[in-house]
Amino acid sequence: MKHHAFIYLFILLVGIFTLVVVYVLGIMSGFQLSEKEYISSTLPTLSVLGTWVGAFATCSAVLLSLWLAFQQISKDKVVLKCLVNNVLSSPDMETKYISVNIVSTGNKPANIRSIGWFGKDAKTAIWVKDFHYTSSHLPTVLNFGEELVVMHTPELYFHLNNYVEEHLGGDYGKLICLVHTTTESIEVAPNQEVIDSVKDANKLS
């Protein structure tokens, strides 16, 4: 349940409370009541108003507690921001490499286990074992704000090209990078430059 629902419910309760107050004030100011009439009509209304105020305060406290709890839950989880693109690495500034940049933006540490490649509707995936010597090592634990840069070897372009042709029917748009943690696998779509490089890999060999 999204925390916005609590805000909308709180606004609704405020509206109902306001209507009740306006109703009571209308009774008290719009009519000239005798003492007997005041006791028989206005006092019960004020009693009901007191009950509403108490219920409103209780509901507000419960909603606030739930909202804070859901806010804490949303923060205490693994949240990763991932990007797959082509990069150049010194001293060779001509050869392209596929880079997977991973940044942890959640309060809970993320244990990055491995990187793989998959295709929508495919029955098999590619598990990458060897990376470029400049790549960060796996597995790695990322705390909030820390970044991991995984550099593939140039040969991966050819492997991905063959994978798409054999298992994805030549549809390069289905290619997906998988970031595997201890709790989930996150799908990351490569940018168009990576897709174009994979598509042209065998043409340039």
Tell me phi and psi for residue 13, to 5 degrees: -65, -40
Chain segment 146-174, per-residue pLDDT in tens:
999 999 999 999 999 999 999 999 999 99
Q: Is this model's pTM higher than 0.85 or not?
A: no
What is the pLDDT at residue 79?
87
Would you state the torsion angle of the CA atoms of residues 155, 161, 162, 164, taken in this order, to the nearest 10 degrees?
140
What is the pLDDT at residue 30?
47
| pLDDT at 7 exceeding the cut of 70 | no
| pLDDT at 74 exceeding the cut of 90 | no
What is the pLDDT at residue 1?
45
| pLDDT at 134 exceeding the cut of 70 | yes
What is the pLDDT at residue 92?
72
| pLDDT at 36 exceeding the cut of 70 | no
What is the pLDDT at residue 6?
60
| pLDDT at 46 exceeding the cut of 70 | no
